[in-house]
Every structure is written in C-alpha cells, then in structure tokens.
A and B are shown apart, each in its own frame.
Chain A
Amino acid sequence: MSLKAFHIFFIAIATLMCFGIAVWQVVAYSATGSMAQLGQALGSAIAGIGLIFYGVSFVRKTKALHLSDI
C-alpha cells in the first residue's frame, strides 16, 4: 500500500470517528441537555464534512498529478 492509499484510508477512518463522536455527543445531549455537548456534536459533524471534502479533493488532485499508487 502506498502513502497515497494509506492517507485516503486514514482520512476515511478519521471521518468515521468525527461522525461517531457527533452521534455520541447528540445521544449524551439528549440525556443531559448540556449545550456544550451539542456544540461538540456540531463541531465534530462539521469536521467530518470537512474531511470528506478534503478526501475527495485529495483523490482528484493526486489523479490529475499521476502520483504513484504502488
């Protein structure tokens, strides 16, 4: 696996973690009503969306530059 492929895998896992934390914080918010947890849920979801956009842009750029897949 190349660094390029491992980076894509890493970004995918980090994205899943962000959405997982967002869901976890929403569940915690529904139990406690803490606005801090709602804020953290929102922040995590935004970070997850940001990582998706970054991942797609990374794949497109590396394809355009013909970087090695080996």
Chain B
Amino acid sequence: MSMEIRYIEEAHPETGLNNSKLGIWLFLASEVMLFGALFSSYIILRVGSADWPRGAEILSIPMATFNTFALIASSVTMVMSWASLKLNDFGKFRLYMGLTILLAFLFLVVKYFEYTAKFSHGLYPSTNTFLAIYFTITGLHGIHILAGIIVNGYLWGPGSTLWTTKPEMFTNRVEAAGLYWHFVDLVWIFLFPVLYLL
C-alpha cells in the first residue's frame, strides 16, 4: 500500500507554503541560530580583548574578495537554474546548475590555498583567539559550501530524473536548494567584512 505525501507540490492551506519550503525555512532558522551564536562569540571575544589583530594584516583580502564575487555569481546562476525550470528549459537548468557547482568548487579551492598559506606561516587555530574564531567560522561555512555542492550535484545528476515524472516537485526541490545556497552566500557576505576588513 502506498501513501501519498500531501502538500509537496501545492501550498498547504494553513501555511500558504508547500511543505518542502516550510521545511527548508525551519532548517534555515536553526542555521541562523548556529551562525548567530558564533558571531556573538566573535563580538564578545573581540570586545573583551585588550589586543585584537586587524584581519587585513593577517588574512588575504584579494583571495577573500575573489571568493565573495564567486559566491555572488553563484547565487545568480542558482536563481537562473530555478527560473529555467519554471520556463520548462531543462537544458539551461543543467547549464546554470553546473556553473553554480563549479563556482562553489572554485570557492573551496581558493579557501584551500588560503588555509595552506596560513599553515605554512605557522598560523593555526591555536595561535591566537582571532585565528581560532576565524578558522571555526570559515571552516563551518566551508562545510556548508561542501554540503551545497553535494545537494546541487545530486539535483544536477541522479536527482534530475524526477523532472521527467514530477516536474513541479523537482522545481520545488531546486528552489529549496536555492534558498539554502542563498543563505550560505549571505553568511559569507557578513563574514567577509567582519573577519577580513574590520
């Protein structure tokens, strides 16, 4: 006996949202609390410290600037992939989603070089409080980027077979992945000035 999961394609009458969108927003609310706690820790540690180094003196601003633009570009390609599905153009969806994944990889490659440069100069999380919070927040953000690559990669590859049978459900999944991706990008937009510039 099969049981149909309701309100996956159409909006729930009580919430006005389909369940996948409600689910992703509840998840993002928990993510706000996670990153919010880390940002709060950063502020408390910084305010309570007598000597706090400027990020610009230790970290690579050109690399971080490049990564900022890579993530902004990836948010554009992500929304384009969703819009392509809305316009019934699966080919363009594959193109834009592929570009999103490539830009995310590019971000992680640059991050790898940034981290290895720090390690080669003997700068580790144990070196000082600034580097401890820097590696914690950017490391956690990097894990979120990796999770986005896995989800988007699934939707680009094996998960895309759903388009042929249930296009509306597939489009909703891509939208939910897009909301997650925008959140991850938004976290970086706050991280960049806070850690690298101030």
> Which residues of chain A (14-35) have a CB below 8 Å from chain B?
14, 17, 20-21, 24
Q: What is the CB-to-nearest-CB distance from A3 to chain B, in angstroms, rounded to a whole number?
A: 4
For B182, give its contact among A7, A17, A58 (CB under 8 Å).
A7
Cβ contact within 8 Å between A7 and B79: yes
Chain A residue at minimum C-beta to C-beta distance from B174:
A3
Chain A residue nearest to B61 in the complex (CB):
A40
Please indicate the chain A residues that have their CB under 8 angstroms from the CB of B8 in the complex: none
Task: Check if B17 sits within 8 Å of A14, measured CB to CB.
Answer: no
Contact call A70/B179, Cβ cutoff below 8 A: no
Please state if A13 and B25 are interface contacts (CB–CB under 8 Å): no
- The size of the chain B interface, using a CB distance under 8 A, is 26
A1 at the interface (CB under 8 A from B): yes
Q: Are the C-beta atoms of B197 and A10 separated by less than 8 Å? A: no
For residue B103, give the distance in angstroms from its CB to the closest CB of chain A.
15
Query: A2, B75: Cβ atoms under 8 Å?
Result: no
Count, chain A residues at interface, CB 8 A: 24
The answer for the CA separation of A67 and B178 in the assembled complex, in Å, is: 15
Chain A residue, CB-CB nearest to B83: A67
**A-facing residues in B64-95 (Cβ within 8 Å):** 65, 69, 72, 75-76, 79, 82-83, 86-87
Which of B17, B65, B79, B87 is within 8 Å of A3, CB to CB? B79
Contact partners of A11 in chain B: CB under 8 A: 75
- The answer to whether B86 and A17 have CB atoms under 8 Å apart is no
Q: List 11 A-B contacts (CB under 8 A).
A: A3-B79, A3-B82, A6-B179, A7-B178, A10-B186, A17-B189, A40-B61, A58-B79, A65-B86, A68-B86, A70-B17
Known: A3-B79, A40-B61. 11 other contacts (CB 8 A): A1-B25, A2-B175, A10-B75, A11-B75, A13-B189, A17-B193, A20-B193, A21-B197, A58-B79, A65-B87, A67-B86
